Homo-oligomer: A and B are copies of this chain.
Amino acid sequence: MSLRDEAAELDARDPLAGKRAEFDLDPDVSYLDGNSLGAPPRGVAPRLAEVVGEQWAGRLIRSWDEGWWDAPERIGDRIAPLIGAGPGQVVVGDSTTVNLFKAGVAAARLNPGRPEILVDAGTFPTDGYIAESAARMTGHSVRRVPVGALASEVGPRTAVVLVNHVDYVTGELHDMPGITAAVHAAGAVVVWDLCHSVGAVPVPLDAAGVDLAVGCTYKFLNGGPGAPAFLYVARKWLDEFDQPLTGWAGHADPFGMTPAYAGRAGISRGRTGTPDILSMLALDAALDVWRDVTIDQVRAKGLALGDFFLRCLDSLVPGARVVTPRSHARGNQVSVAWPDAKAAMGKLIARGVIGDFRPPEVLRFGLAGLYVRYADVLRAAEELRGLR
């Protein structure tokens, strides 16, 4: 069977094929950049029109009491099942970077008397920058360690370990239960960055005993450009969670307007300022696409897309340097080292195959199971062959 026939058959048999219709996507575009910016669910535009026209205009300030104020916790609880978290441990708001600062400082305070923060050496840059800032302000130093060496490098000097669940360049999926156990065995606290795993692979936060985590909603959760991020605090730490961005929205009595800060009980103490309602309710609408699918279904399709893409590459672009694990120890992306990757991606995009590139000279192809077709990944391989 030709690869084209095979792609057609895989698409015809795909139990998630119908989900693509829930996204506003040009049928002629092969969109393989959902690991950077998820595609727009069709429900977002009408929801925004409703929020502006009926809630903001129609109810004005009263809307704060009619669903706006509690949106961060409510939407957090909608994300929770996707990351293996029980209710009351996830809150939505602020950017990933801001949440990393909250989690990093709070983690250091949970484990006083140890001088060092370990950071995944391949981390997305913002995590490292924020770790340095948190360390500077809490009297720690930062040491960068390859993820594979974390379990052996973590030790009695380590207060906190900050690690990415999926590497943003290579797509490698790291062992959350194993690394978490090693960190705990050394008496340290772990903060997981879920940006490239949430909505792509199952995340076992509660089961692995993770302490803190942050994640992004504009990639595989399709919340929209720069959509609010989320913060997870394990139930066991909720009472002790002492974060530095002590804004009025996390106060025990926000409308009491009292001069002394007192964090609200539960995950709400992870809140900071007034929640950004337009973006937050756009995300709320975007999460509706998960109503009738599970993360396991999406994961299964993502792996199948990746396996098929790897076969297409082997067949059409032999010798292409795939930097993503061929095993299933990967997230939902396949990355290919390619000379002059930026220019090459420009050509692919001009031909309707949208991925992106990252230094050093890596082409990234995201495989969002909710809307990517097997025909899309075949086309990507075909167009890559054309660039040779």
Contact = CB atoms under 8 A, between A and B. Distances in A.
Please give the count of copies of this chain that the complex contains: 2
Interface stretch (A121-129, A181-189, A297-305): A121-129
A97 B218 CA distance: 23
B247 A56 contact: no
A96 B249 CA distance: 11
B96 A273 contact: yes
A57 B24 contact: yes
A118 to B, nearest CB: 14
B126 A247 contact: yes
Contact of A144 (B29, B96, B259): B259
Contacts of A101: 244-245
Contacts of A128: 259, 261
Contacts of A56: 37, 40, 224-225
B60 A33 contact: yes
A73 to B, nearest CB: 15
Interface stretch (A202-210, A275-283, A325-333): A275-283
A266 to B, nearest CB: 18
Given A40-B56, A226-B275, A274-B226, A61 B249 contact: no
B261 A129 contact: yes
A63 interface: yes
A229 interface: yes
A57 B125 contact: no
A16 interface: no
A138 interface: yes
Interface string A249-263: 101000111110100
Interface in A94-143: 94-98, 101, 105, 124-126, 128-130, 132-133, 136-138
Residue picked from A53, A97, A249, most chain B C-beta under 10 Å: A97
Interface string A46-57: 001100110011
A354 interface: yes
A96 B275 CA distance: 11
Interface in A154-202: none
A89 interface: no
Contacts of A356: 61
A60 B354 contact: yes
Interface in A276-292: 276-280, 282
A98 B98 contact: yes
Contacts of A39: 57, 60
A303 to B, nearest CB: 23
Given A57-B25, A63-B225, A137-B138, A248 B97 contact: yes
Given A49-B45, A97-B248, A248-B129, A358 B61 contact: no
A122 to B, nearest CB: 10
Interface in A38-93: 39-40, 44-45, 48-49, 52-53, 56-58, 60-64, 68
Contacts of A276: 95, 225-228, 276, 279
Given A98-B272, A129-B248, A226-B276, 20 more contacts: A25-B57, A39-B60, A40-B56, A48-B49, A48-B52, A56-B225, A64-B225, A97-B249, A97-B272, A97-B274, A98-B247, A126-B247, A128-B259, A129-B247, A129-B261, A137-B137, A224-B278, A225-B275, A227-B278, A228-B276
7 contacts: A48-B49, A60-B354, A68-B226, A94-B95, A96-B274, A105-B137, A129-B246
Ranked nearest first, the 8 interchain pairs of A and B with the lowest CB-CB distance are A95-B273, A97-B247, A97-B273, A225-B277, A126-B248, A24-B57, A129-B261, A226-B276
